């Protein structure tokens, strides 16, 4: 009778929660980090859905309503050409999310994880070449070189895109900002892989000495299967935290490049270009909303990514549990 009761109790027992579900539960209990995640989703979600969410087009002008303060019709006011500032903020979020995620996913995630995994697992000359190349990148100021590359490469890329338009008959690529997007995220991706590669290399060096890796090698598993199936999934916790921090840094870098005039430029909307257009002391005194609102959105996004990274570190780090 007792054995039957034990079996029945086990049948109705709640299934075991996996480690990722437990990490998500811990993250939800951290109110600041969870609020930061919601903030990022709302701002970037609005940017992705800009054609449907934005009340106006980013280029729609109404000169009769130029330089108006916040109203019910224009909650964030209008700029000097009568363009709705809220709509331009939303479209600028779309620009930022494209550049940010493209640079981080191509540079930090794909290149950084692949190169760091190879350096840590194979060692020897693989490790020497990859890490010494990374040291060369770290020997120079990253943002300064990104600005230099974007400024020198951008005219050539735009010329190539124009030639492609004339040869293929496809028009609108330059006007859509595709060349600007490519130059900015390419320059950012070129330098975002080094830190991730160093992190992954350290994790792989530690994990490849474990018993389950020895067992996989004894069973004849290939090197690539051991790296991508047995080692890297167990190194995801610090990688996720680093990616969150990297997204915030990439978002800020995109704004700085556009502010300096080497990133995404008008007529394509960008938070950095909006700040640059209205940074003079005269405009700040007369129409402060033109610079305060985009600056506040930029600060909110970068701050949210940093707080989310701290929350993810607490949720995923076993030492803080």
Is pLDDT above 60 for 274? yes
Is pLDDT above 50 for 77? yes
Phi-psi category of residue 13: left, alpha or beta, with phi > 0 → left and psi -120 to 50 → alpha: beta
| Residues 22, 28: Cα–Cα separation, whole Å | 10
User: What pLDDT was estimated at residue 52?
Assistant: 92
Query: Quick check: helix, strand or coil at residue 69?
Result: coil
268 DSSP 8-state letter: S
Is pLDDT above 70 for 246? yes
Contacts of 200 (CB under 8 A, 6+ apart): 112, 113, 116, 117, 120, 232, 235, 239
User: What pLDDT was estimated at residue 6?
Assistant: 47
Bridge partners of 84, per DSSP, are 78
pLDDT grade, residue 1 (50/70/90)?
very low
Percent of the chain with pLDDT over 70: 91
Is pLDDT above 70 for 277? yes
Is pLDDT above 80 for 5? no
User: What pLDDT was estimated at residue 239?
Assistant: 86
Distance of CA 321 to the CA centre of its chain: 27
* Residues 190-203, mean pLDDT to the nearest whole number: 87
Is pLDDT above 60 for 51? yes
User: What pLDDT was estimated at residue 298?
Assistant: 92
241, burial (CB in 10 Å: exposed 0-12, middle 13-18, buried 19+): buried
317 or 283: whose pLDDT is higher?
283
| Residues 130, 121: Cα–Cα separation, whole Å | 12
Percent of the chain with pLDDT over 90: 9
* Residues 31-52, mean pLDDT to the nearest whole number: 91
Contact indicator for 283, 70 with CB cutoff of 8 Å:
no
**Domains of the chain by start residue, with CATH:** 52-320 (1.10.3720.10)
Is pLDDT above 50 for 257? yes
3-state helix, strand, coil in the chain (%, to 5): 75, 0, 25
User: What pLDDT was estimated at residue 40?
Assistant: 92
pLDDT grade, residue 4 (50/70/90)?
low
């Amino acid at each position: 009778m007792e054995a039957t009761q034990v079996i029945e109790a086990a049948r109705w027992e709640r299934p075991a929660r996996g480690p990722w579900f437990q990490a998500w539960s811990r993250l939800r209990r951290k109110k600041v980090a969870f609020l930061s995640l919601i903030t990022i989703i709302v701002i970037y979600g609005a940017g992705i859905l800009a054609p449907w969410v934005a009340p106006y087009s980013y280029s729609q002008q109404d000169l009769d309503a130029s330089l108006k303060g916040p109203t019910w019709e224009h909650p964030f006011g209008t700029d000097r050409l009568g363009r709705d500032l809220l709509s331009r903020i939303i479209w600028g979020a779309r620009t930022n999310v494209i550049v940010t995620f493209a640079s981080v996913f191509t540079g930090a995630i794909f290149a950084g994880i692949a190169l760091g995994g190879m350096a840590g697992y194979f060692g020897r000359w693989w490790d020497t070449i990859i890490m010494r190349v990374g040291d060369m990148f770290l020997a120079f100021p990253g943002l300064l070189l990104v600005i230099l590359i974007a400024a020198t490469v951008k005219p050539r890329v735009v010329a190539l895109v124009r030639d492609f338009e004339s040869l293929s008959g496809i028009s609108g690529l330059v006007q859509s900002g595709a060349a600007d997007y490519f130059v900015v995220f390419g320059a950012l991706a070129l330098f975002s892989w080094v830190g991730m590669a160093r992190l992954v290399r350290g994790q792989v060096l530690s994990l490849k000495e474990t018993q389950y890796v020895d067992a996989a090698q004894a069973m004849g598993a290939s090197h690539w299967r051991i790296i991508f199936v047995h080692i890297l999934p167990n190194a995801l916790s610090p990688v996720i935290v680093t990616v969150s921090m990297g997204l915030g840094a990439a978002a800020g870098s995109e704004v700085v490049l556009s502010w300096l005039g080497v990133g995404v430029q008008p007529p394509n909307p960008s938070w950095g270009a909006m700040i640059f257009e209205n940074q003079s002391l005269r405009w700040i005194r007369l129409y402060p909303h033109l610079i305060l609102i985009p600056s506040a959105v930029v600060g909110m996004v970068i701050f949210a990514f940093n707080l989310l990274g701290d929350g993810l570190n607490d949720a995923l780090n076993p030492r803080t549990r």
